[in-house]
Amino acid sequence: MIYMDNAATTKMTPAVIQAMLLCMEDIWYNPSSLYAPAQRAAEALRDARVRIAACLNASPDEIIFTSGGSEADNQAILSAARAGAQAGKRHIISTAIEHHAVLHTLEKLEREGYEVELLDVRSDGVISAEQVERAIREDTCLVTVMYANNEIGSIQPISKIGAVCREKGVTFHTDAVQAAGHLPIDVQAQSIGLLSLSAHKFHGPKGIGALYARNGIPMTRLIEGGDQEQGRRAGTENVPAIMAMAAALEEACSHMAENTQKVSALRNRLIMGLSQIPDVVLNGDPENRLPGNVNFSFEGIEGESLVLLLDQYGICASTGSACTAQSLSPSHVLLAIGRSHEAAAGALRLSLSEDNTQADVDEVLRIVPGLVRELRGKRVRNPFQRPL
Ligand SMILES: *Cc1c(COP(=O)(O)O)cnc(C)c1O
């Protein structure tokens, strides 16, 4: 089996599984309880918070544990919006290529009377800090721009956007779910006010994530109940998953340079090889993209058909985001970078990790051209479809 869908989720590493198991066996107590064993769980929780904060250059009390990236995005955006409304500010700036956890939250706010402005990205999937600067108004309460895109891998100029927001006094949130553990993050140097991350995108467990919220930014609770997370998120903490997330983030960050080098070399080999197929186009920029992201549109075929055929060869890939894989509507990201509906429907995303090898890449390069020919051939034989 060749797994090339690491943008959808990643495999936990042995060290991460070990950290989680140890916690489940030894310190499974409720960290809010008073007796000594529970205090060891509370101590583990504090330790994980310190380590995760250190990876982001944040302070531990600025870390809120959530159920994942989606919850962190929801809480960040709703918090900034509620605080804005109290000051009479209801204008929000974002981009057309955000994850649905962001876009659907913004749609909800629009129905509540907020004004949401989605900036157009260039054909390489990037917005400029100048675009953000021009869009900021007196009544802007939030700028939310993803760090790196989950479909085409494009990386935004986060430091520059952060600097603009700091200068204008506007809260800046970034969905860093694809970036955390893969690209450098420093919330101080990058002037980030709110940041979302999710453990299962950097070899941690699913169902756990974090929201970094700079001290002084008021938080709205999504979950009411006890006063865990300093009253910002109720519910007994998932200590084993949190310990595993800390281990995964530390492991990813301490090997970031070597992983980036290895994975981007595989990515470039894959891009070079797939570019040889006639009538294909790379989605996103060849250089400014996540180390593991490859996304091509194949003219005249359906991405879904290609993914299903690849599965027969034991190759796990995707058409784009896992969230849109089940729906037939074309990717909003590919439409936003100017692709036609047909090109958007013919997309294949291969997302690599450091577990992949050159042999994996060569196997994919051996198989894909034939499958594309086969699918295109079927299309010509089908009298109801336009021949190529
Ligand atoms: C995966 C992902 C999310 C959602 O994270 P979950 O932990 O699965 O809820 C949000 N944003 C981006 C960019 C993602 O890739």
CA separation for the pair 271, 365 (Å, rounded): 10
- What are the structural domain ranges in the chain? 2-9+256-378, 14-254
Strand partners, 281: 297
275: amino acid identity, one letter: S
* Token code pair at residue 388: 């190529």
Residue 327's pLDDT is 62
**Ligand 1 midpoint to CA 177 (Å):** 6
Quote the distance between the C-alpha of residue 65 and its chain's center. 17
Which atom belonging to ligand 1 lies closest to the Cα atom of 148?
13
Give the residue among 344, 322, 348, 325 at the shortest CA–CA distance from 334: 344
Q: Atom 12, ligand 1: which residue's CA is nearest?
A: 177
* CATH numeric code, 2-9+256-378: 3.90.1150.10
Task: Indicate whether residue 199 lines ligand 1 (CB < 6 A).
Answer: no
pLDDT at 83: 98
pLDDT tens, position by position, 196-237: 999 999 999 999 999 999 999 999 999 999 999 999 999 999
CA distance 73 to 157: 19
Residue 328 pLDDT > 70, yes or no? no
Q: Determine whether the shortest distance from the Cβ of 68 to ligand 1 is under 6 A.
A: yes
Average pLDDT over every residue of 78-103: 98
pLDDT digits (tens, 9 = 90+) for 357-387: 999 999 999 999 999 999 999 765 555 555 4
**Mean pLDDT of the chain, nearest integer:** 95
Average pLDDT over residues 44-67: 98
Q: Does 152 sit in the ligand 1 pocket, CB within 6 Å?
A: no
Residue 380 confidence (pLDDT)? 52
Active-site residues: which are they? 323
pLDDT tens digit sequence for 110-152: 999 999 999 999 999 999 999 999 999 999 999 999 999 999 9
Residue 201 · residue 9 · CB < 8 Å:
yes
Atom of ligand 1 nearest to the CA of 198: 7
CATH architecture assigned to 14-254: 3-Layer(aba) Sandwich (3.40)
Distance CA 339, CA 240 (A): 43
Per-residue pLDDT at 323 exceeds 50? no
331-340 tens-digit pLDDT: 999 999 999 9
* Predicted local confidence at residue 378, as pLDDT: 79
DSSP H helices, the chain, are 14-26, 36-56, 69-86, 100-111, 129-135, 158-168, 239-254, 256-275, 303-312, 322-325, 332-336, 341-345, 358-381
